[in-house]
Amino acid sequence: MTRISGKYLAKRIVVSYLTLLVIMSLLFVLLRSMPGSFITSMISSGMTAEQIARIRETWGLNEPLWRQYLNFMINYQTGNFGRSPTYNTQVWDLMIRRMPRTLVLFGSTFIIGFIVGPLVGMYLGWWRGSRKDKSIFSTSLLLYSMPSFWISWLFIWVFNYELDLLPSAYMFTQFPEFQWTAFTVMRDVLYHIALPIMSLTFIGWVGSMLIMRPTMNQVTDEGYVFLARAKGLSERTVMVKHAARNALIPVATGAVVSLAFLIDGSVIVENVFNWPGMGQIIVSSVLNRDFPVAQATFFMLAVLVVVMRLLTDVIYTYLDPRIKFGEGE
Amino acid sequence: MTLLEVNDLSIRYAIDDGSAVHASDRVSFSVDRGETYGLVGESGCGKTTLAKSLVHLLDDNGYIESGNVWFDGTLPQWADENGDAKQSVIDDPDKPVREDGKTDLAALTNKQIRDMRWRDIAIIPQSAMNALNPVYKVGDQIVEAILRHEPQTTKAEAHDRARDLLERVGIEPDRADDYAHQFSGGMKQRAVIAMAMACSPDLLIADEPTTALDVIIQDRILEELEKLQDEFGVSILVISHDISVMAEICDRMAVMYGGKVMESGRTEDIFGETANPYTLGLKNSFPTITSADQDLVSIPGTPPTLRDPDPGCRFRERCPFAIEECHAEHPPMYDVADAESTGRLREATDQRAHGSACYRIDELEQLRTDALNEDTWTEQRIESR
């Protein structure tokens, strides 16, 4: 980690910040180019012109668009995300409540996927061309081509409807007959999260496996793999310590790319499982023209991706000692 | 004393269509303790395959067809406190250990041979420059080898030894904490040599130790190897196509062609009393620095493919001296000294003596004179014979 210079890091942070400013501007423009407007979420047919004018005034909609844009940009710099008309709370409070739920679900699928995927990829790449490799590889491609919502329905049908093992919706039991303690909360969340995690990880590991397998196969021909064998190390040590360790480097890049797709999937899966996370409010806020919430959720996702990109640089220097960031600048 | 005795070793590579490449065919040679033995020949003649097969490091489709690799040393669990094979192991008919305590490496399982790799036989691979793992510190990679075979060593001791080994091959001990990409090509090569000596093996296999290095570095690497040999008493099996390198460092050598040994014996005999048409051709095609305006004469044609080869002499297609007999069967090793003094062909009984696989070594004087003549080695001449 010492191989990232402070200067390089500062530069990257400035660039990330500028990226976020651009994304915010795009968000502002794109949301307002949608048919319908912000005000439609707050007015009903029985309102008088005067009432509507007052609403416009309180939400600052009388100001010219450039002024609204400036307000938006300045408010976000100071951490003021505004108020949601549909949820009738501060947007920030909504985020704070919803974000952890999404992170729990997608953090765990992300981690499971990036443990299982490279592991399977390691074995398949090492034994490339074997019968095991061929059958597992073709099965995984089949999985990869299935849409996540369809898999989710399939899992709901099997585990909820047919077997009645796991709940198909929500994060908590709706009308519990037990006391809420730290332990029961944990147990209840685990019980509810099982099915969404299962359906997400069922296909989620394939992406990283697809990156790991060919790179793993390449490194088996490297001189250091031969030397590791010649040293008398066991096949397992050669595979894990010498080959897989080198093949992991491109997988780190894949992780960041796949994160964006994971967020994609989150919207769908959260709606299928009625998971009260960010994915749900992304959809509802856009449908209701709740601009403050829509802006904030999209902004948070952008922050997540930008931060992950920054993190990969750090991970890279850890994985590959040949990589140096900020040399000669 | 003999350290390694390879007897009639045949190695094949299986091919999908059911045929097999005979990469090494009934090859025999022996290496004494403290000796440098060379395997020389063109690319694809089976020398690297032969070396890798000694410690079962062939590619997946390669296998030992027949033959023995008797090695003076045995598995740790079969050895007594002096490192010699226990009497009970020698007496056990299920264990491939001979009366004199030598173990047949060819008969060991892959799991068993792993305990002997690097501890008894270390190998410096052809691509020594790429043999260091880029993601681990060079010192740690040496430590890994030490701890693998001497688990009772502490980490600190192993690190000290690694630094000491690097120093012996002329690398500053502090560079142990560097990664391979921070080393120059020659340093990487020397680091691998240091690594090879980590468990003080009895045999060091150096596969093309100087290829891809410039002559100055080449020379230093060769000196390094000789120094280590004096210091540790290790035997070295060198594999190279470069006969000038071989002439410099080898005590004895075998000239290989098409998976067969064509000529073997002491280095000075092979170069001074050359007794095989292939060796004569090989010598012609190498430049010497002393004669300025020299026309190099190459052997016309290309080496055989070795895929289910015909029974005849492997070299006959390219040999200007081939006769009827050469097409029937590959010649056995004949005793050269015997043939020269008596004019008769007698199969060599002593592996150490100068031997040559050629039916015409009773006419050696004639062959040597003709071989010097450039016209002998033209394609027309070879086709017309």
What one-character-per-residue DSSP string does B90-131 give? HH-TTS-B-TTS-EEGGGS-HHHHHHHBTTTEEEE-TTGGG-
Residues, chain B, total? 385
The more confidently predicted of residues B385 and A57 is A57
Environment class of A9 (CB within 10 Å of its CB; exposed 0-12, middle 13-18, buried 19+): middle
Whether chain A has a CB inside 8 Å of the CB on B140: the answer is: no
* Residues of B whose CB is below 8 A from A224: 130-134
Interface of B with A in 161-180 (CB under 8 A): 179
d(CA B341, CA B34): 31
pLDDT at A328 over 60: no
Would you state the pLDDT for residue B348?
A: 85
Phi, psi of B220 (to 5 degrees): -65, -40
ipTM associated with this complex: 0.91
What amino acid is encoded at A128 in this protein? R
Collapse the DSSP code of B66 into the 3-class scheme (helix H, G, I; strand E, B; otherwise coil) and give the result.
strand
Q: Do A224 and B133 touch (CB under 8 A)?
A: yes
Whether chain B has a CB inside 8 Å of the CB on A166: the answer is: no
Please report which confidence band the pLDDT of residue A2 belongs to, taking 50, 70 and 90 as the band edges.
Answer: low
Inter-chain contacts counted by CB atoms under 8 A, chains A and B: 67
pLDDT at B384 over 70: no
pLDDT, averaged across chain B: 89
Please report which confidence band the pLDDT of residue A1 belongs to, taking 50, 70 and 90 as the band edges.
Answer: very low
Would you state the pLDDT for residue B294?
A: 65
d(CA A217, CA A278): 39
* Residues of B whose CB is below 8 A from A322: 134, 179, 181
* Residues of B whose CB is below 8 A from A242: 133
Q: Distance, in angstroms, between A227 CA and closest chain B CA?
A: 6
Given CA atoms B40, B45, B48, B49 in this order, what sign does their dihedral have?
Answer: negative
Interface of B with A in 178-217 (CB under 8 A): 179, 181, 192, 195
Q: Do B135 and A320 touch (CB under 8 A)?
A: yes
Report the interhelical angle of A91-126 vs A131-144 (nearest 10°): 160
* Residues of B whose CB is below 8 A from A246: 133-135
Cβ(A208)–Cβ(A258) below 8 Å:
yes
| Smallest CA–CA distance from B141 into chain A, residue | A228
pLDDT, average across residues B306-321: 89
pLDDT at B383 over 80: no
Model confidence pLDDT, tens digit, residues B236-250: 999 998 888 888 899
Instruction: Find tokens 């080449």 and name the residue.
Output: B218
Q: Distance, in angstroms, between A235 CA and closest chain B CA?
A: 9
Would you state the pLDDT for residue A41?
A: 72
Contacts 24+ apart (CB under 8 A), B14-22: B14/B61, B14/B62, B14/B63, B15/B61, B15/B307, B19/B307, B19/B308, B20/B307, B20/B308, B21/B305, B21/B306, B21/B307, B22/B259, B22/B306, B22/B307, B22/B308, B22/B309
Cβ(B259)–Cβ(B314) below 8 Å:
yes
Whether chain B has a CB inside 8 Å of the CB on A222: the answer is: yes
Would you state the pLDDT for residue B385?
A: 59
* Residues of A whose CB is below 8 A from B116: 232
Cβ(B312)–Cβ(B327) below 8 Å:
yes
Which percentage of chain A shows pLDDT scores above 90? 39
Environment class of A220 (CB within 10 Å of its CB; exposed 0-12, middle 13-18, buried 19+): middle
d(CA B210, CA B217): 8
Model confidence pLDDT, tens digit, residues A82-110: 888 888 889 999 999 988 898 888 888 88
pLDDT, average across residues B156-163: 96
Give CA angle at A304 (A280, A252), nearest 5°. Answer: 120
pLDDT, average across residues B62-83: 91
Would you state the pLDDT for residue A118?
A: 95
Would you state the pLDDT for residue B285?
A: 81
Q: Do B117 and A319 touch (CB under 8 A)?
A: no
- Helix ranges (DSSP H) in chain A: 6-32, 49-58, 65-77, 91-126, 131-144, 148-155, 182-204, 206-219, 223-230, 235-237, 245-272, 278-287, 291-319
- Return the DSSP state at B238: E
What amino acid is encoded at A254 in this protein? G
| Smallest CA–CA distance from A220 into chain B, residue | B59
Would you state the pLDDT for residue B84?
A: 85
Q: Distance, in angstroms, between A187 CA and closest chain B CA?
A: 42
Q: Are strands B62-71 and B2-14 parallel, antiparallel or unpaired?
A: antiparallel
pLDDT, averaged across chain A: 87
Q: Do B130 and A222 touch (CB under 8 A)?
A: yes
Is 0.90 surpassed by the pTM of this model?
no
d(CA B382, CA B317): 8
CA-CA distances (angstroms) from residue B83 to B74, B101, B146? 7, 10, 18
pLDDT, average across residues B46-61: 92
Closest residue to A230, CB basis, from B118, B135, B179:
B118
Q: Do A233 and B114 touch (CB under 8 A)?
A: yes
Give Cβ neighbours of residue A114 (< 8 Å, ≥ 6 apart): A205, A208, A251, A255
| Smallest CA–CA distance from B113 into chain A, residue | A232
Instruction: Find tokens 């200007």 and name the residue.
Output: B320
| Smallest CA–CA distance from B192 into chain A, residue | A227
Would you state the pLDDT for residue A44?
A: 76
Q: Do A246 and B133 touch (CB under 8 A)?
A: yes
Give which of B160, B77, B91 is closest to B119, Cα–Cα: B77
Model confidence pLDDT, tens digit, residues A126-172: 998 889 999 999 999 999 899 888 999 999 999 999 998 888 888 88
Model confidence pLDDT, tens digit, residues B112-122: 999 999 999 99
Model confidence pLDDT, tens digit, residues A189-248: 899 999 999 988 888 899 899 999 999 999 998 999 999 999 999 999 999 999 999 999
Q: Do B148 and A231 touch (CB under 8 A)?
A: yes
Would you state the pLDDT for residue A329?
A: 40
Q: Do A245 and B144 touch (CB under 8 A)?
A: no
